[in-house]
Amino acid sequence: MEPFDTIIGYLRAGKSGTLATIISRVGAAPRAAGAKVFVGDDGQVYGTIGGGCVEAEVWQHARGVLRQEESKRLRYAMSGKTVEDEGMICGGTVELFLEPVTAKHKDIYETIFNCLRGDGRAIVFTSTEGTPFRKSLVTENGAILGDLSVPDALWEFGELSGGCPPRIQDGLLIETVVSPDRLYIYGAGHISQHISKMAKAVDFHVTVVDDREIFANRERFPEADEVIVEEFRDVFTKTRPPHNGYAVIVTRGHKHDSVVLEEVLKRPPRYTGMIGSKRKVKILFDDLRGKGFKEDTLGTVHAPIGIDIGAETPQEIAVSIIAELIKIRSAA
């Protein structure tokens, strides 16, 4: 949700800043279109667009954008000279859009922040031409915020199914706002604590499920979006990973892993991973075969879970799992 969590903090404190968004990338520039960085009116920088030289350029222009309350488009080429001077090993060209962030559009930034927390989806339209600076947002249920008149033809709500890169059309920057990918962690032990923290750091919406309140609680998982205390089999009558979601099964024993895996595979999400040895996996898979599960369904399970990095400690195991989640997400 960064930098929108920071933006909301600034606006609520009566402060302002400049938001920079990558709108196109050519070559090996570090970050893709859609990456953002926020420069507060105090000069502090939040988020990243992937390179110190690019962010320095944004910082140089940010004060003028805010002072004039006008947007600005920049094209920045990481030439051979720039790459050499900065000690970088990447190059390419990025086009940036800088916009003033003020109380004028506070309700829009609040709505974007709420969408990113999982409360709905929206399309944001920002004028790239003329003054004064204008911006509007349309939610999927038809609510309209802002001061920019947007033709109905541009309300492409089909894009909200999975989001898409920002684009410039008819003098407008058009961006979709969808909630982060949803990760369900079954089991609330030590490994789960590290998975939860790391998953939030890379922008997953995290739900932790366990049948023991002494383990599944806010003290142990302060960063999680949801912590559910429920019998493993019963929880699936109330909530489950969506078809494009992620399930990580790290309960305290084979019995509970078996229950969760069976329920998850009745409606398989994008990713299912289960911790355990090859022997354990074989036993559980044989049991599921006996219950009628097909080989193509069982073949979707990442078990043993995680990328093989020789992990041993709970922290290392969590790193291997998060790396696998990122790899699957990037390929989607």
| 204-240 tens-digit pLDDT | 989 999 999 999 999 999 999 899 999 999 999 999 9
Indicate if 29 and 85 belong to the same structural domain: yes
φ, ψ for residue 260 (rounded to 5)? -65, -45
Instruction: Reply yes or no on whether the pLDDT at 161 is more than 90.
Output: no
Tell me which of 89, 104, 119 is where a domain ends: 104
Checking if the pLDDT of 26 tops 90, the result is: no
Specify the pLDDT at position 109: 97
Out of 89-98, 154-163, 243-252, 271-280, pick the least confident: 154-163
Is a pLDDT exceeding 90 seen at residue 54?
no
Q: What mean pLDDT is predicted for residues 96-118? A: 93
Are 124 and 191 contained in the same domain? no
Chosen domain end from 177, 195, 219: 177
| 198 plus 152 within the same structural domain | no
Give how many domains the chain has, as a whole number: 3
Q: Residue 173 has what pLDDT?
A: 93
Give the model's pLDDT for residue 82: 46
* Per-residue confidence (pLDDT) for residue 53, from 0 to 100: 80
CB within 8 A of 309, min separation 6: which ones? 316, 319, 320, 323
pLDDT of residue 52: 73
Work out the mean pLDDT of the chain and round it to a whole number.
89
Domain residue limits at 142: 109-177
Return the pLDDT at 81. 46
Compare 188 and 86 and report the one with higher pLDDT.
188
Q: Are residues 186 and 327 in the same domain?
A: yes
Average pLDDT over residues 54-66: 91
Confidence label for 83 from pLDDT (cuts 50, 70 and 90): very low
**Domain CATH for 204:** 3.40.50.720
Q: pLDDT for 257-301, tens place per residue? A: 999 999 999 999 999 999 988 899 999 999 999 999 999 999 999
84 pLDDT more than 50: no
